[in-house]
A = this chain, B = another copy of it.
Amino acid sequence: MARTQSRPARQRNAAATRAAILQSARRAFAKAGYDGAGVREIAGGAGVTAMLVNRYFGSKERLFAEAVAESIATTSVLGPQITKSGASGRQIAAVLIGITKAEDTPLEGFQIMLRSASSARAARIARKLIEQHHQKLIAAALEGSLAAQRAGVMLALIAGFQLMRQVLELPALAKADPGALVKVLGPVFDRLLAATR
């Protein structure tokens, strides 16, 4: 009766608990990266003991793989925006600027990747998922030559922008007026959308 009274104390439900752990893991990995997020912290975020995490997922590494897979699948905001036929650079820029504003972001998959880049295993997992889920889709939607390279540079720009704005919080990008950023970023995306001459 020590713990039951302080919390709503979720019913004993394996599936729900598993889901809660996974969600907590996604948030923690996005915030601190693979090495930075501890199993106890993740467990705490789900209102659960550390050991239950290992009980359900086997190990931290397997938990990470599952969390990344889910996050990437959910990170579908920017993809459609870019791959739809009539997209303008200004639109893409506006969306990107919007979703890199708050702490919590739909670009969770990218966030995890950025913060886990130091871990070799994490990087390998991330590369595979990025390549298959984003790079190929964008490249396919681009017309003209060097589509793969242009898609790659777009992803680089997105990742770098997020890194500087959200992770490093470089003032020039983090505190800038969104309108001004659109003015700067829009034409850049336009260049990448346009077929290379």
User: Chain A interface (Cβ within 8 Å of chain B)?
Assistant: 32-36, 113-119, 123, 126-127, 130-131, 135, 139, 146, 148-153, 155-161, 163-165, 167-173, 176, 180-181, 183-185, 187-188, 191-192, 196
Report the bound CA distance from A131 to B165 in whole Å.
12
Give this chain's copy count: 2
Interface class of chain A by DSSP = helix
With A32-B118, A152-B176, A184-B192 given, name 12 new contacts (CB 8 A). Answer: A34-B118, A35-B36, A116-B118, A117-B167, A118-B118, A127-B168, A149-B172, A152-B172, A157-B157, A160-B161, A188-B192, A191-B191
B163→A159 contact, CB < 8 A: yes
